[in-house]
Amino acid sequence: MPIKEMKIARGEEKASLVLKNCQVVNVLNGQIEKGDVAIENGLIVGVGDYDGHKEVDLEWKYICPGFIDGHVHIESSMLTPSQFSRLVMPKGTTTVIADPHEIANVCGLDGIDYMLNASGPLPLDVYIMLPSCVPSTDFEVTGAILLADDLRKLKDRENVLGLGEMMNYPGVILGNKTVHDKLDMMSDRHIDGHAPTVTGKDLNAYISAGVKTDHECTTKEELLEKVGKGMYVHIREGSATRNLDTLLQGVTDSNSRRLMFCTDDKQPMDILNEGHIDHNVRRAIELGLSPITAIQMATLNTAECYSLRQKGAIAPGYEADLLVLSDLESITVEQVYKKGQLVADDGSPLFEANPLIDQRVLDTVRIDSPETVNLNMLVESGIAKVISLIDHSIVTNSVVRKIDTQDGNFVHNDKLDILKLAVIERHKNTGNVGLGLVEGYGLIHGAVGLTIAHDSHNIIVIGDNDQDMRLAIQTLKEQKGGMAICMDGTVLDKLQLEVGGLMTDAPLDQVVTRMEDMNKLAMDMGVNKNIEPFMTLAFLALPVIPELKLTDKGLFDVGKFQFVDINA
Amino acid sequence: MPIKEMKIARGEEKASLVLKNCQVVNVLNGQIEKGDVAIENGLIVGVGDYDGHKEVDLEWKYICPGFIDGHVHIESSMLTPSQFSRLVMPKGTTTVIADPHEIANVCGLDGIDYMLNASGPLPLDVYIMLPSCVPSTDFEVTGAILLADDLRKLKDRENVLGLGEMMNYPGVILGNKTVHDKLDMMSDRHIDGHAPTVTGKDLNAYISAGVKTDHECTTKEELLEKVGKGMYVHIREGSATRNLDTLLQGVTDSNSRRLMFCTDDKQPMDILNEGHIDHNVRRAIELGLSPITAIQMATLNTAECYSLRQKGAIAPGYEADLLVLSDLESITVEQVYKKGQLVADDGSPLFEANPLIDQRVLDTVRIDSPETVNLNMLVESGIAKVISLIDHSIVTNSVVRKIDTQDGNFVHNDKLDILKLAVIERHKNTGNVGLGLVEGYGLIHGAVGLTIAHDSHNIIVIGDNDQDMRLAIQTLKEQKGGMAICMDGTVLDKLQLEVGGLMTDAPLDQVVTRMEDMNKLAMDMGVNKNIEPFMTLAFLALPVIPELKLTDKGLFDVGKFQFVDINA
């Protein structure tokens, strides 16, 4: 701290910037305090009566610390970090704890390196948790396998905080060595968790292994147990997973200090229309939480959890990440200051995109002959295990249905909402194709496909006929990743996601327009309005979320933790 | 975490130790929870229904996490770390954040090294904050001068957490380079503060410099301001300084998470009779604070402040530092477990002292001719500035008094409670003698002297006649440090403190008996019963506590921050 700052803090010299006449939301003591905020060199030097070389009169508006997203996969915004920052900063998010496990599944360490490099120059602070589960299981082919020794290479990189969500909770509690090698390697850093429905002694084991957070609570009881056992719990509002309304019932004065907000996976149009962490705060207040507690959960608590000691509060020595709010109900973010710089005003970013061209993460859809992919699915019994979708959830049920067959192969029945699902390996050109059946998607005719398919991000495609499904696959290959909707041999709409098949450097408007059009089109084609046409699909290949899933290697029962025959 | 622990946490194998039938004080969620606590390899693996190879039935007694003293000078117990641990662990203190700045003032880096080495083998966890102010000012001769480059040598030693209390708050806020070099060197670690009465913009500057805690609050308003500005505040109950009753008025549900307990400086008999951190907890509950909040302030909050991530709670992965309590009112600590080992039972330690003989910290009283020290004090005006003691405080007032003189030299007047005070440099044999006057000490006849004199620990001696004062100095030299009471040419009582002139490896009983006898003797000789005969004296040489103090270089006005003539 240079001597000059001491003089400025003491009021002997003018600060570079003073926000005059603020109502400061002080998350440290739960008070609203009137005063000026003096800022020098990106840091707050004092709240009080200050003069500045530049002064901005806030006319007694509220200011609060910048919001922190405690757990996010930037890739789920389909935007590169640069475009993502232009989207979320106007919403008030100034810091994110990001787990780049999507791009890591496609590009390995190169993908993480890309995210670190692409984030470095941004006004948004992006902290990285090293992906712990690449691949998420051994039950799929992924673009990379990251072991403890691989992750160790990035452990000491700037902005790396620790180990990302340890999704392989069975591996943890059953003592899998590969899993524990990673936990041990990171035992002196922060380790994020992911333990849906894990409870009792299994949860004791999981936490004993060093895991410190969880963002998968879906019930009040889960939240209470996890906080009581020492976890910090992220209350999540994503696109497909919305836990806030339920979990807020568990928030008490005694446990709120250990609660935080996150988005996890949120699509760009949802961020644009509804908000980012500001949405979590707003919704919590709507449901009756005190505004200061809600803002604490979006700021101080997260900073404490991740040991970000200069973030999360408006006080001397803290980074000048500040939001000007219209009021403490609607939480409309009017201006955003990052390290004392005005970076967003009235919902718009004041900085340009800063794309990073990195050949290592481009051209990642590697399949030879999409037009000849074999999608024949043998179900000799005519009684099949079917993935049954649950509205507004990424969890599925495993159900048994009688289906139509021809020569033992599944054939679509127009009267049944049961569609063929295919996962086509796209990293190593193995030719792997996993086939299954889905109930509740609703598509009447055609195919929907994308290169986002958690967590291996093989191609996933659903449809009522093989021709349209193959066309979708071919389209995805041609445009180096993204999304496509096909019907009767025609590509009805598509979106390119050229970075790892997951993200694009295209401007937000384009992406959002495309996505909105494609979602609308999918729904016009019959897709169930209580699911996300693309995001729900994208989670059907994730074999760590119950109950029945599909990878490029086949149908997977998560409860049994093994592949199962489609014949019931 | 070995695989075995996973099985134990899951209940598939027995734990080494299970405390059965506990009422667990869960500081994470504010609840009391019934269950067994399973412990393996020093760590808690779960709370629930567990079986152990060894089981201890606690018959539904309360258990809480081990207490943490957030700021302590072990030297003030006059016991070496080994003897100190035998004293405080039976009181429930399992971890201390210690600033060895007393021994550092005497022995420099060797003194800190001694404390680290002496603490290493103990069951008590001793974390070290590197002393920031050796010497505390330039206004005294000390045994060592520690600059940023010196401290850097110990920065990465195990158990070193950061920089100890930055007492030179004027140096901080006025931008003193030597001071800021230390702050900058430690900016990536924890920095403790010490900022009595610092407020407003000065406090903003002090905190901006990176200081994170304060233990010098004496008013509710001070506490509220400091917490609101981002500091963690220690609520202190020492021997001479007792701030809890006052500060507790400032504790709210919103700010308690940033409050902690400490003892700072507490004499051995006070610890023995009254307690250590258990006393702070007990007193807080007596004053109406909820037991769980009080225990949080003694455990979780301190652990969070100092980033001790496996301490401060009873939950999986936390160290098994556990106290068995009689109830949640009297907070009588019945048993103490440290990392799963029973270390104290019914108030007695179950481990032996483990003294470390280190020649570098012995034989530290270096003066040539104590018998000829010149104690003549010229006060030609007959109107003197006098240090006026305040009951139960280490702050003094500066008052002006008419005194008797002979040939311009002060002479004692039996009708006035004004005594001569001398500080004799004892590190470098400079021959420096500082002389002053004290009102309110109460001694009628004789001399009281000691080698504990914060923070330089020169010899400080008070008396009504020069002969007894010189005898006290001579006695202190002969016994290589400690305390002495002399009258009419006789040493009435004495205590040896051979380690740095501050501590002894003698058994606690001996030290306490000696101290009690000497305190009683001092009071029998007239010493004011509202001060501590020795500890109050020991703070009269500390030129960072207002208002008037005395060093070996002369009389010092803390407000003016300069030496002043004794003539008013």
DSSP A134-200: SSSSSSS--S----HHHHHHHHTSTTEEEEEEE--HHHHHTT-HHHHHHHHHTTTSEEEE--TT--H
**Segment A445-451 mean pLDDT:** 98
| Alpha-carbon gap, residue B365 to B388, rounded angstroms | 29
- 3-state SS, residue A22: strand
| Alpha-carbon gap, residue A268 to A259, rounded angstroms | 25
Q: Which of B204, B224, B309 sits opposite A316 (nearest CB)?
A: B204
Interface of B with A in 238-277 (CB under 8 A): 252-255, 257-258
Cα torsion A112, A115, A121, A125 to 10°: value is -90
Q: Which residue of B has its CA nearest to A315?
A: B229
**Segment B142-159 mean pLDDT:** 97
Q: Does A46 touch chain B (CB under 8 A)?
A: yes
Which pLDDT score, from 0 to 100, does residue A239 have?
A: 86
Instruction: Give the count of Cβ contacts less than 8 A between chain A and B.
Output: 180
Interface of A with B in 269-328 (CB under 8 A): 292, 304, 307, 309, 313, 315-318
Q: Which residue of A has its CA nearest to B255?
A: A29
Cβ-defined contact of A208 to B317 (cutoff 8 Å): yes
Q: Does A31 touch chain B (CB under 8 A)?
A: yes
| Alpha-carbon gap, residue B281 to B292, rounded angstroms | 10
Distance from CA of B63 to the nearest CA of A (A): 15
Contact yes or no for A212/A232 (Cβ under 8 A): yes
Which pLDDT score, from 0 to 100, does residue B136 have?
A: 79
Which pLDDT score, from 0 to 100, does residue A543 have?
A: 87
Q: Which of A185, A203, A229, A290 to mutate to test the interface with B (most CBs of B within 10 A)?
A: A229
pLDDT surpasses 70 at B566: yes
Cβ-defined contact of B43 to A1 (cutoff 8 Å): no
Radius of gyration of chain B (CA): 24
**Segment B536-559 mean pLDDT:** 92
Distance from CA of A160 to the nearest CA of B (A): 15
User: Angle, nearest 10°, between helix axes A81-88 and A109-119?
Assistant: 50
Average pLDDT, chain A: 96
Distance from CA of A269 to the nearest CA of B (A): 36
Which pLDDT score, from 0 to 100, does residue A393 have?
A: 85
Contact yes or no for B460/B418 (Cβ under 8 A): no
Cβ-defined contact of A317 to B230 (cutoff 8 Å): yes
Which pLDDT score, from 0 to 100, does residue A1 have?
A: 62
Cβ-defined contact of B180 to A28 (cutoff 8 Å): no
Interface of A with B in 317-376 (CB under 8 A): 317-318
pLDDT tens track for A323-366: 999 999 999 999 999 999 999 999 999 999 989 999 999 999 99
pLDDT surpasses 80 at A2: no
Which chain B positions have a beta carbon within 8 Å of A186's beta carbon? none
At B1, the pLDDT band (50, 70, 90 cuts) reads low
Which pLDDT score, from 0 to 100, does residue A394 have?
A: 86
Which chain B positions have a beta carbon within 8 Å of A47's beta carbon? 204, 229
Which pLDDT score, from 0 to 100, does residue B543 have?
A: 87
**Segment A412-440 mean pLDDT:** 96
- 3-state SS, residue B405: strand
**Segment A51-61 mean pLDDT:** 98
At B455, the pLDDT band (50, 70, 90 cuts) reads confident
pTM: 0.92
Portion of chain A with pLDDT greater than 70, in percent: 100
Which pLDDT score, from 0 to 100, does residue B193 have?
A: 98
Which chain B positions have a beta carbon within 8 Å of A302's beta carbon? none
Which pLDDT score, from 0 to 100, does residue B532 have?
A: 87
Which chain A positions have a beta carbon within 8 Å of B258's beta carbon? 28-29
Cβ-defined contact of B201 to A309 (cutoff 8 Å): no
Cβ-defined contact of B228 to A48 (cutoff 8 Å): no
Backbone angles phi, psi at B399, to 5 degrees: -125, 165
At B3, the pLDDT band (50, 70, 90 cuts) reads confident
Average pLDDT, chain B: 96
**Segment B248-276 mean pLDDT:** 95
Cβ-defined contact of A230 to B175 (cutoff 8 Å): no
| Alpha-carbon gap, residue A106 to A451, rounded angstroms | 10
Cβ-defined contact of A209 to B6 (cutoff 8 Å): yes
Which pLDDT score, from 0 to 100, does residue B44 have?
A: 98
Q: Does A45 touch chain B (CB under 8 A)?
A: yes
Q: Which of A9, A184, A230 sits opposite B204 (nearest CB)?
A: A9
Q: Does A223 touch chain B (CB under 8 A)?
A: no
